[in-house]
Chain A
Amino acid sequence: MRALSTAATGMMAQELNVQVISNNIANMRTTGYKRQSAEFQDLLYEHVRRIGTQTSTQGNILPVGIDLGGGVKTVGTPRLMTQGTLNPTGADLDLAVRGEGFFKVLMPDGTFTYTRDGSFQMDNQGRIVTAAGNVVQPGVNIPTNAQSITINSQGQVSATVPGSSTPSVLGQLVLTRFVNKAGLQAIGDNLFVETPASGTPQDGTPNTDGMGDIQQGNLEAANVEAVTEITNLIAAQRAYEMNGKVISAADQMLQSTSQLMR
């Protein structure tokens, strides 16, 4: 009976749905997290009676046919790359991007990763690094005696050094954007890597050419909305239950058939 396997695809899809929702809820307070949604499509159909077949020699055709579907499949878990709200923290090296663009981070193996999590720190050599100690590109060295670090909306890093009244420019941060940012792959630690789907990275100065601006002393909160996730969770759970009911209905029918033979 096909209904059994059809309902099984439905249960598997809802299981995955709950998995995606639970990951969103778990990351509700993760800086720079972008929520995912599970998207489904119907599976192939068996056309038992095909629409448009001739039913008589007079050329009458079937206006409708019999299409039997095989269930549901997960087509993807696209990430919703919308802006999260900015939470002021007051820390000098807490940066948030308002608009397009990712911070570029150099990994120990020499590759680049991209992030919206701008909770940066200073390492022992005075470089701006991520919480994991990877250098934010391009490396900006801040002298140990520097005071009042300022990062303006264009990503220019400046600080005052004792003995000088005017702040001196120490470097310029870059942002990177992709033509399809939803095609980036998350590798954990709030980091994304380039994929064939994302397109090639394009570096640029913040606040120019459609790049977002940098907000110092702010962090971008996750774009997860609790209400949306909870309602989705309820819908997923009910759908799972109903698929289970279909399985028991099919089972009941099979049972009544098998009891025919005594």
Chain B
Amino acid sequence: MASNALIVGLSRQTALQRELDVVANNIANLNTTGYKADGTVFSEFLNANSQFMPPTQRVSFVQDRMSWHDMSQGTIQRTAGPLDVAIDGDGMLVVQTARGERYTRNGALQLNNVGELVTLSGDKVMGENGPITLQQTDRDIVITKDGTIKVREGISVNSDSTRGKLRVVTFASPMSLQKDGASTFAAPDGVTPQPVPDANINVVQGALEKSNVRPVIEMSRMIEVTRAYTEISTILQQQSDLQKNSIQQLAEVPA
């Protein structure tokens, strides 16, 4: 069954191409705030038992089974922006998009023209009681550790007014979240966000969480992928030569 070797090799090459796609996406997002790296997992795929294929001759193929998100903490970099927040530890911000509720670790927040707290894509960031709106005369914004947003109103120097509290949620299995582009995650059906208890929220104002992609790991994965791919190409080449030679030699009719 010479053709099986070709197909098994092909299944591995297809999987490797996918892996390189994932690595490329990680490297492209090396500087993306709040980005979480992806990994791939391959599994063996046995072809079905059938009357044409006795159990001793079953062939195993490679199948890429899943990509997973590395939800580990990225480095927290100081930016000094009053509306830049990084979440140290567990938790995600809740964003109201046109497609529904989304979750993000990208805390580069902005205000819109009516003073509402929004993400860079203009989607509203949810507080515990809906969107958070700042007044025209507010200044000196302070975001406390538990996500409470306080401002000084007008010229008053001694009293803080609270404008809202960021809604910070977590998931029992963050792996099951689906990436939705624009640095957001979507929760599939049946996965519900749980509020993080106030004592466990650790919001850092004036800082952003950088991407958690580790360049060294990605570079070595990339080398591994290229090497494996070229190796299989060589095997495929040898298989093809084998077939070619056998056809030539067997079909040789002595004169």
Question: What is the number of residues of chain B that contact chain A, defined by CB distance less than 8 Å?
Answer: 76
Q: Which chain B positions have C-beta within 8 A of A239?
A: 27, 30-31, 215
Q: Is A226 in contact with chain B by the CB < 8 A criterion?
A: no
- Report which of B80, B176, B226, B237 forms a contact with A249, defined as CB distance below 8 A: B226
Complex interface residues of chain A between 176 and 230 (CB less than 8 A to chain B): 177, 179-180, 182-183, 196-199, 202, 207-211
Q: Are A7 and B137 in contact (CB under 8 A)?
A: no
- Report which of B18, B108, B215 forms a contact with A39, defined as CB distance below 8 A: B108
Q: A246-B27, A246-B222 are in contact. Are A45 and B154 (CB under 8 A)?
A: no
Q: Which chain A positions have C-beta within 8 A of B176?
A: 51-52, 63-64
Q: Is A29 in contact with chain B by the CB < 8 A criterion?
A: no
- Report which of B178, B182, B189, B229 forms a contact with A41, defined as CB distance below 8 A: B182
CB of A54, distance to nearest CB on chain B (Å): 11
Complex interface residues of chain A between 1 and 58 (CB less than 8 A to chain B): 1-4, 6-7, 9-10, 13-14, 17, 37, 39-45, 47-52
Number of A-B residue pairs with CB-CB distance less than 8 Å in the complex they form: 226
Q: Are B226 and A6 in contact (CB under 8 A)?
A: no
Q: Which chain A positions have C-beta within 8 A of B115?
A: 179-180, 199
Q: Is B212 in contact with chain A by the CB < 8 A criterion?
A: no
CB of A226, distance to nearest CB on chain B (Å): 14
Q: Are A68 and B30 in contact (CB under 8 A)?
A: no
Q: Is B4 in contact with chain A by the CB < 8 A criterion?
A: no
**Interface positions of B (Cβ within 8 A of A):** 13, 16-18, 20-25, 27-33, 35, 38, 40, 64-68, 79-82, 106, 108, 110-115, 120-121, 134-139, 152-155, 173, 175-183, 188-190, 215, 218-219, 222-223, 225-226, 229-230, 233-234, 236-237, 240
